[in-house]
Structure 1
Amino acid sequence: MRLCRIALASALTMICIDGAAAEGVSAEVSRVHEDAIVLDTHLDTPANFRRPGWSIADNHAHEGDLSQVDLPRMKAGGLDGGFWVIYTAQGARDEAGKRAARDHGLDRLVSIHEMLAANAGEMELALTADDAERIAKAGKRVSFISMENAAPLASDPSLLTAYHRLGLRMLGITHVRNNDFGDSSTDPAGAEWNGLSPAGKALVQEANRLGIVLDASHASDAVFDQLLALSQAPIVLSHTSADALYDHPRNIDDGRLRQLAVKGGVIHVNAYGGYLIDIPKIPERETAMGALSEKYGPESELAVDRVPAYLAERRAIEAHYPARRATFDDYMAHVLHILKVAGVDHVGIGADWDGGGGVAGLEDVSALPKITEALLAAGYTEQDVRKIWSGNLLRVIREAQAIASSEG
């Protein structure tokens, strides 16, 4: 949040945020961005924490979209922090699969705590909204923890209490497939529970009791409706875009946006290109990418020293089979539409960094001041910008925790 300004010869300004540089916005935009607490609700960066040779303290800009968040680029883009995600892919739902999900979730939680311990001078775990404000004021990165896909809890839902004690403050019900707690918006098999399962409804009650914010991103419309009806606290969509601009099951329609606002919730707008515009699939490209993945293994396990060779081969495939790509303007169209429908008190940013997010012109977190610039250009005030970047989110966290406290 601290920055110096060095005017260039042209109208372009270079902004130095905590000693790193971000280009392309004016001094006034920089001031507004600096004065806000800038938080993103969906940082999938923990997927990189186990990669051999990878450290969040290093600048990984050369890795492209393999790595979009690290400390140098957080500083360059004025990103004060957000939610580090415990993501678990939905696997088999037999006992062995549930145990595997349980172990994976706990390991990812441990990896987040290890990362925070290794960078204690730069980052700090946040448990409350007051923590976030205090940590940001001290010049450290605010580190909340969330879970995407409740599969790690399927073998034993009471583990939610342990996760809460270890910092979990946001819980997403599903990912791209149905699970034991509810229906996904994108499962090819369709609805299994017609919303939340009995275990899912019990999970909502437990999250409310603990003060954990419920997240409806990836969930079906029926799950969204039931979360809105059952949760005593406002809910969020941590990384979701507008169905009115691109009709996709993963996006949300205007009617539900209005219902979310009525209940005090917040939608954080996703920058995943495949949910912003129609990107036709190219079978030959997908086949080549599949072969590349088989050769190098999962990106989340790719050693830093193997990245140059991997990227060279991947970029050759991309050049040979070029695909349409979403742009910053496409992203802002979703942001501005959602602001118009839901209202400025119910919108935030959750760009899905390191989980597929990022568009042409908004490649990584170092470019975040461009969002502030676009919001101001669209007529939103400095106060509005502060709400969008964190004020609305922190309000929901406070409300969820106040409800938990009132229940004893």
Structure 2
Amino acid sequence: MSSNWIQHVLAQDSPPPAANWLEALRQQAGEQATALPLPRRKLEAWRYSQVENLLRQQAFNPVVQAPDDNGLETPAALGPHVLVFVDGWFSPRLSRVSELPEGIRLGSLRAHLDDDLAKAHLGRLANSGEDLFTALNTALINDGLFLHARAGTVLDTPIEVFHLNSKAGQPLLAQPRNLLLVEDQARLTLVEHFLPGAGDGYFHNGVTEIHLQAGAQLAHYRIQDEAPNAWHLSRLHLQQAAHSHYHGITLSFGGHWARTEYKTGFGGEQAACDLRGLYLVGDDQLSDFHLDIHHDQPACRSREQFKGLLQGKGRAVFDGRILVERVAQLTDAQLTNDNLMLTRESEVDTKPQLEIYADDVKCSHGTTVGQLDPQQLFYLRTRGIEEQRAVHMLCEGFAGEIIDHLHLPELRDRARQRLSQALNKL
């Protein structure tokens, strides 16, 4: 490994007060991070991602203690349950978690590191030996989101998590580690917002592990709207028991370089995983989505629908893989990726993959890349609609199929407003 800033990060350790099990986990991950090769284009998973630009950065400074959150305010939220993380660290001053029902435990991972549930589940899904950035996150685990919903708990109002960056005048590395445990028949909604910060070219390297037990339901919405000079990497590892349902949507608007990865596994029959995403990129932006859906249980269902709007010299990458093992009979899996190119200079690399070893399945995958239909534009123009407004209407219709799956009306409205702001820059 030769990237100087990664070696610099590993040297800036500040371990939390915790049991020996965490010390061992962090130490092992640090050794793996030192031994693992740097991501490069010769590796298939990084073939189109331009990760070398990230590795060429002079330095990122890890945030090894809770930052000063003075001058920051709690963002406008949808409801009463709000957690705020600044540079990956929980901010009690900016958060509101007092009105939760007894069945929900919510707060800072750092405050729950001596919890038996954390010991049993942290690091179980995210294998730090497979990936450098996961190893980096694990080696410096300090704080992040801890969410535990006890069996049968139903929360009708959403839990909102805001990821903010401090105003420190240096390139910071935020590494939140999130652990979500949703027990049998529990049901809740989690909304994550990744908002722009005032730092210089900060890097968000987040890892989330999600455990859904039998019959659990989690709606998980993520709005990535980082600063134009930000680097954003999110890895989500999901394990679903029988009859559980995960409904995940990621909207990617911001960042200079943004990559989101989903890795999903099934632990029982008749589980359902719905993943949707919308990415909008313009000049000096790359948006990158990678999906790895592993069907190794019978009668499970997965849906993956991702759409992209590309303008200017924006670039996007979509790499979606569905693997159906021989034992996974009666699998129902569908994957689509559609892209609308608004300029000739934009570029997308899309690679949907379907690997099937079972013989009684219903599976499909496909991708489209195209431009606005001139006849549709002409039709709108003949109705007295200006060209720019006509383009916006067609783009809004294209993206609306993803946004409409957000079950929270106010969040849908905010997403449409953010899309409109982006389209106004055309």
TM over 0.5: no
Q: What range describes the TM-score normalised by the shorter chain of this pair?
A: under 0.3
Give the TM-score taking structure 2 as reference length.
Answer: 0.27
Larger fraction in helix: 1
Task: Specify which structure has the bigger relative contact order, considering alpha-carbon pairs within 8 angstroms and separated by 6 or more residues.
Answer: 1
